[in-house]
Amino acid sequence: MSMTQTSGINFSNQLKVVLLAAVVAVAFTACGTLPNPGIDMQVAKTKKPKAKAETKVAKKVEEPTQTVEAEPAEPVAQAFPSYKTSKGYWREAVKWLQVGDEVTASAALEEALVLDPHNKIAKKLLHQINADAKAELGDKHFNHTVQEGESLSGIAKEFMNDALKFHILAKYNDIDNPSRVTVGQVLRIPGAAPKVAVAKPKPAESPVEVAYRKATKDFSKQRYKKVVAELERVLEENVEGDFDPTKVKALLISAYVKQAERFRDNGENKSAGEYLDKAADLDADNASVLTAQKQLERDVEAEAVFNDGINAMKSNDAIAAYDAFRKALKLNAQHIEAKVWLDKVKPDVVDVIYKRALQAQRRQELDKAIALWDQVLEITPDNENARLYKIKAVELRTNLQKFAAD
C-alpha cells in the first residue's frame, strides 16, 4: 500500500471519529453533560444510562397536603335601634328571642339594665337565656299538641301564667326558633296537666226565657211589631208566674217607642199615640217614653196647623197659608207636605206683600212700607226692586224727620 493510500485511510478514520464525537457531544448536551473531546465511543456509551438514572432521581415526589379545619367563629350580636327607656330594649330583646337569637337579645337586655338596673322583666328574660331549662322547670311534664292559631307565648301564658316564658319553654323542648312551631307539633309542658272542668248541663230554658230570647233577636232585626206581640203574650200568660218581668218590660217599652216612631214618620199619629200610651202604662216615668210623647204632641199640633194652611189656601189667603206652613215646619221639621206647600205659596205671598208695600210708600206710610219691604226681602233676599224701594223709603223718612226737626 502506498503512502498516499495510507494517508487517505487515516484521514477517513479520523473524520469518522470527529463526526462520532460531535454526535456524542450533541447527545450529552441534551442530557446536560458535555464530555471532553478525545474520549472514545466506549466511554460515551457507558455514560448515557447514567444520565437517565440521574434524571429519574431528579424527579420530585409530591407529598400529600394536610387540611386544617378552622374553628367556628363566635356568634356576634346583630345591630338594633337605640331606645330611651329600658322598656324599649327589653321589647327589642323579645323580638330577637322569638327567632332564637340569644346573643342579640342578651345585648339588648344589658342595655335595658344599664338604664334601669332593677327592671324585673329584663332580669327575668336574661335569666331564661342563661338558665338550664330542664333544671329550672323540672322533669315532670305533660304533652300538649299545638293547635291552629297557637304560639309559644300564648301556650306559655295559658299553662305557665306568663307569656314571656316562651323562651325557656322553647329551650325545654329543644326548639331553636320559637316562632316556627307548627300545628300538630307535640310540646312538653312543665308541671302537672291541668284538670279538665266537667261541663255542667245547662238548665232547661223556661217558656218566658225562650220568648224573651226570640224577642231580643227580632228587636235586633227591627221587627218591633213581632216583639210587641210576643212580649205582650208573655206578660198576659205569666201574671202569676215565677219570673222577673223587669227585663221583659224594658224590652217591650223599647219596642213600643220604636214602633211609635215608625207610625209617626208615616203620619199615623193615632197609632203612635196608642203605642206610647201602652209604654207609659208600663213605666210612666220612662225618659224615652216622655220624650216620644212630647214629640208626638208637637207633630199632632203641626198637622193641625198644616190643615189650617190648606184651608187658608182654599180661601185665597196666601199670607195666612204661608204663616201656617212656616209654623208647621217649626213644630215638625220633617213635615214634607208643609215644605212643598210653603214653596208653592211663596210667589203669591211676595206679590201680595209687594203691592201692599208700594201702596204704603205712595201714601208716605214709610214705617209700614219699610216693614213690608223687609218681609219681601226675607222671603226673596235677591229681590233687587224691593231693596231699592226700601232704600228710598228710608231716605225719605230721614229727610222728613230732619224737616220736622227744623
Residue 297 counted as domain residue: no
Classify residue 340: in a domain, yes or no: yes
Q: Is residue 71 part of a domain?
A: no
Query: Which pLDDT value is given to residue 242?
Result: 56
The pTM of the full predicted model, rounded to 2 decimals, is 0.41
Per-residue pLDDT of the chain (406 residues; tens, 9 = 90+): 444 444 444 544 554 544 555 544 444 444 444 444 443 434 334 444 444 444 444 444 455 555 556 566 678 888 999 998 998 899 999 999 999 999 999 999 999 999 999 999 999 999 999 999 999 999 999 999 999 989 999 999 999 999 999 999 999 999 999 999 999 999 999 999 888 766 667 677 778 888 888 999 999 999 999 999 998 888 887 655 556 788 888 999 999 999 999 998 888 889 999 999 999 988 889 999 999 999 889 888 888 999 999 999 898 898 899 999 999 989 888 888 999 998 999 998 899 999 999 999 899 898 999 999 998 999 899 999 999 999 999 998 998 888 887 6
Is 259 within a domain? yes
The predicted structure's pLDDT at residue 334: 84
Residue 69 lies in a domain: no
Identify whether residues 146 and 234 lie together within a single domain.
no
CA distance 161 to 154: 9
Determine phi and psi for 332, rounding to 5 degrees. -145, 100
CATH value at residue 343: 1.25.40
Write out the three cell numbers for 358. Answer: 208700594
144 bridge partner residues: 187
Q: What integer pLDDT is reported at residue 385 of this predicted model?
A: 92
Q: How many domains does the chain have?
A: 4
pLDDT confidence of residue 26: 44
Which H or E run includes 353?
helix 336-362
Clarify whether residues 166 and 112 are in a common domain.
yes
Q: Are residues 184 and 113 in the same domain?
A: yes
Instruction: Indicate whether 296 belongs to any domain.
Output: no
**Domain co-membership, 185 together with 211:** no
Q: Which domain holds residue 369?
A: 304-405
Provide the strand spans (E) within 295-397.
none
Residue 163 falls within a domain, yes or no? yes
Q: Compute CA distances 158 → 130, 152, 273, 399, whole Å.
A: 24, 10, 56, 94
Residue 294 is assigned to a structural domain of this protein: no
